[in-house]
Amino acid sequence: MNAQQITELVRHGRGQMPAFTKLSDSDLSALLQYLAHDPTFTPPTANGHVAAAPAMVPSASAAAATSDHGGSLYQQNCAFCHGRDAGGGESGPDLTRSKLVADDVNGDKISVVVRNGRADNKMPKFNFSDAEMADLVRWIHSTAKAAATRPGGRRGVDVADLQTGNVDAGRAYFRANCASCHSPTGDLAGVASRYQGLQLEERMLYPKDAKDKVKVTLPSGETISGILEYQDEFVIGLRDANGTYRSWPVSAIKYSIDSPVTAHVDLFPKYTDDDIHNLMAYIQTLK
């Protein structure tokens, strides 16, 4: 059978063989490529039955076709964030060194993330078919395996590279310099389970998502606190605990701003290498 005949067979069925009308064009293309290189393929007879054939073992060409389809899906949907080679990008982590990918078995973990997205990291949901998901997972695993065995291919930082500090010294540093704003049982509880390696260290040194807080004192003495939403030389605005935006002329009130990012930046010239390594060693215990 040629490609056109197989397409008609798949789309319209034959005898007891059902029609697969919802099969996407990309899935059908991958199927055609697979069958073109499978010597065991036997088309159904007029009554829909298929003659017995030996067990199918995908050829190297068929495997390559599947990988190509997974690679195409990746480039179209994932490369913008995770990089064209899955080695990480502007907003997505390196998948070739991902713990989730390493722990994944036949897509049991990757598919959950892909289909549900990750709102905390602004990753959208992707409604891939089971066949598309399988191809994508195979491509990610194949790419990760190739990256791991490529001589001189290492570009990232292993978690082990960041485990050279002393936990006790890091705990002492935390108590002396960090405990006034942070708590290992409060805002940092489980932080090492949510972030690992370089991502954890980057957030420790420079918490880019931290929001400035402002406390406004009115002429009456009343104080109002909230998240700083606007500030210029004339006006300051905040969003209070109820989500209400409020603003005042700076000439009419007194205010103070608590900036977590500024506090971290102020520590940069004070850090020693040992401080960073030790603090990181301690933070990694907060699971």
For β-strands 235-239 and 223-231, DSSP reports them as: antiparallel
Q: Domain 61-149 is classified in which CATH homologous superfamily?
A: Cytochrome c-like domain (1.10.760.10)
Quick one: tokens of 102?
A: 């390493």
Looking at residue 195, its pLDDT comes to 86
What span, in angstroms and rounded, lies between the C-alpha atoms of 94 and 89?
7
Long-range interactions of 271-275: CB distance < 8 A, separation 24+: 274/165, 274/169, 275/173
DSSP 17: B
The pLDDT-based confidence of 153 (bands split at 50, 70, 90) is low
More confident residue, 6 or 230: 230
The pLDDT-based confidence of 67 (bands split at 50, 70, 90) is low
Task: Give the CA distances from residue 160 to residues 90, 165, 203, 284, in Å, rounded to whole numbers and listed in that order.
Answer: 23, 11, 17, 11
E strand or H helix that includes residue 126: none
The pLDDT-based confidence of 276 (bands split at 50, 70, 90) is very high
Provide the 3-class DSSP secondary structure of residue 116.
Answer: helix
Q: Which residues contact 267 (CB under 8 A, 6 or more apart)?
A: 177
What span, in angstroms and rounded, lies between the C-alpha atoms of 151 and 270?
38
Q: What is the mean pLDDT of the chain?
A: 83
More confident residue, 216 or 119: 216
Provide the 3-class DSSP secondary structure of residue 255.
Answer: strand
What span, in angstroms and rounded, lies between the C-alpha atoms of 147 and 67?
15
Instruction: Give the global pTM.
Output: 0.47
Per residue in 182-191, pLDDT (tens digit) is: 999 999 999 9
Looking at residue 58, its pLDDT comes to 47
Per residue in 97-127, pLDDT (tens digit) is: 888 998 999 999 999 999 999 887 789 999 9
More confident residue, 16 or 92: 92
DSSP string, 198-243: HHHHHHHH--TT---EEEEE-TTS-EEEEEEEEE-SSEEEEE-TTS
CA nearest neighbour of 161 among 11, 281, 18: 281
Question: What is the CATH number assigned to the segment(s) 213-258?
Answer: 2.30.30.100
The pLDDT-based confidence of 147 (bands split at 50, 70, 90) is confident
| Contact indicator for 114, 128 with CB cutoff of 8 Å | yes
Looking at residue 72, its pLDDT comes to 92
